[in-house]
Chain A
């Protein structure tokens, strides 16, 4: 199989300037094409900049926006991931990443997890997406798209891998912070991200592609350091911190099969177990924890007529121990 050449476009968008950023994307797309890339990845909100605040509504595009369609039209024979503010029909705003292929918009992922803590305030301006799906790509494999914070939640890479993704793509606008000298690379944020991506690649036995922006919005600096990680967890490429640039990396997609045959972690996943326990946890959280799938409890049997197996008019819908009894266990 021909190796796939991935282009990571570590760019610095101009905050709130859609036209300038669209021009930059077209330019980089053309450069990636002449460099022989089959997959070109741009960072989170590369078309708008990150620290938008009230500008978000002013730079939002609907999915049928001609400017977006024009950009998609330039992806003949290519796959590209671009990110922008998407406005839905009901006028909710999303941070979205779109897969553009062969001249069309093939798929849109809306950011699921919107950090609103510390230096982040995303939920104030955006709505969270509700779908996590993989997409069949022209590259002959399924891709899993995620945006920045989505990767700080274990379920995201896991679900994408179970749904058939062999290559996970995370596009980010990650602000660099924590310069403590004890860190391996001098930047706490970079160390955390590297740990996550190697772990996800290894545990999902998939390629992980991370594209992070550079430059500054207001007071925050984005650190770049985009990467491609092999299904073995090995870093195939790490872009420099803070440097703007287009970096290409060749990967053998056949490595996924080799890794999964030798290390069948994905085969051995137990999604049904996970689902069952998740249902239980959800039920307990909401106080509707009278399920019968739980292990039998130790301790005295419930008083007849209250929680006994035959139940009376006053018993719970399915019998079983009450919440109080469980917590006393």
Chain B
């Protein structure tokens, strides 16, 4: 991939070097984006008949940004942040999540998912509910179960809180399929799902997400030392640029190569996008009847007679 086209973004008074790298073609008008997204959050809640929301706060930038935006849209008193650490989660993650809660002054709740996850996989030689094979489960299986346990907790907590689960996945991870189906990608609606990671950083800086959160290396924190960029083998600015030109700007492979992207990177990202199509779509239903949901029965979710206000 080509590099060196990024501009360095600083916040006023930030003397400690660059906060993040923002490829110029990805820079958005954050004021307009904030306006649209805040309106979207209010609208989604009102249209579903709710006035409260809840966010699973990981300590990372995506959920921090969403918490800030939801607080702006409906007020911090209507937001519940749920922290769901596992016993091996980085202590820094919980610390950063608390930083967001303190800054916003919203309600928060901590649910340790360790007993739920260990109860399935087992721990210290004890068999879990998943049996012997679960005891030898790969990191991938463990990571997926953690993500899905968090989804279960969020949806359970949404009932007493009387609010909707707000999604925190960004466009980059969705496009390359770096998500757990029915896990971290499960939500009632997603305000940042059309923003690349670099744009999430730009927005986060604009709305005042604490710098420590913007600056640190993104991680799913499913096992110690894991970072997105080491796992994917790309830096986010590089990956975002490639996805932007490939998908938003419809450049062909030849054009991408001529722009300086490496052939191996183009091939790999194309494969990631193509193989994860299923993660971005509603599960298919066999067409049998005269009118089938999503095919030839097409109604807006918010229609007369729905729960909207």
Q: Which residues of A contact B35 (CB under 8 A)?
A: 241-242
Contact of B304 among A17, A176, A181 (CB under 8 A): A17
Q: Which of A52-60, A148-156, A267-275 contacts B (4 or more CB under 8 A)?
A: A52-60
Distance (Å) between the CB of A60 and the closest chain B CB? 14
Q: Residues 16-27 of chain A: 1 if any B CB is under 8 Å from the residue's CB, otherwise 0?
A: 110000000000
The answer, yes or no, to whether A34 is at the interface (CB within 8 Å) is: no
Q: Say yes or no: B31 contacts A186, CB within 8 Å.
A: yes
Which residue of A is nearest B301, CB measured?
A218
Say whether B162 faces chain A, with CB atoms less than 8 Å apart.
no
Q: Indicate if the CB atoms of A219 and B40 lie closer than 8 Å.
A: yes
Binds A, one of B165-173, B176-184, B256-264, B292-300: B292-300
A217 at the interface (CB under 8 A from B): yes
- Inter-chain CA distance A182–B299, complex, in Å, is 36
Q: Within the assembled complex, what's the spacing in Å between the Cα atoms of A186 and B302?
A: 29
Q: How large is the interface on B (under 10, 10 to 19, 20 to 34, 35 or more residues)?
A: 20 to 34
Bound-state CA distance A216–B31 (Å) is: 18
User: A180 to B32, alpha carbons, bound, how many Å?
Assistant: 10
Of A52, A186, A221, the contact of B300 (CB 8 Å cutoff): A52
Residues of A within 8 A of B298 (CB): 53-54
Q: Are A221 and B39 in contact (CB under 8 A)?
A: yes
Q: Is A186 in contact with B29, judged by CB distance below 8 angstroms? A: yes
Contacts of A92 in B (CB 8 A): none
Interface flag for B93 (CB, 8 Å): no
Docked Cα-Cα span, A46 to B299, in Å, equals 18
The answer to the question of A306 belonging to the interface, with a C-beta cut-off of 8 Å to chain B, is no
B28, CB-defined interface residue at 8 Å: yes
User: Chain B residues near A52 (CB, 8 Å)?
Assistant: 300
Cα separation A87 to B40 with both chains bound (whole Å): 32
Beyond A54-B297, A176-B36, A242-B35, whether A218 also contacts B28 by CB under 8 A is no
Q: Apart from A54-B299, A218-B301, A241-B32, list 18 A-B contacts with CB within 8 A.
A: A15-B302, A16-B303, A16-B304, A54-B297, A55-B299, A55-B304, A179-B32, A179-B36, A181-B27, A182-B27, A186-B31, A187-B29, A215-B43, A216-B40, A216-B43, A218-B300, A219-B40, A221-B40
- Supply 9 A–B pairs (Cβ within 8 Å), ascending by A: A54-B298, A179-B36, A186-B29, A216-B39, A218-B300, A218-B302, A219-B40, A221-B36, A221-B40
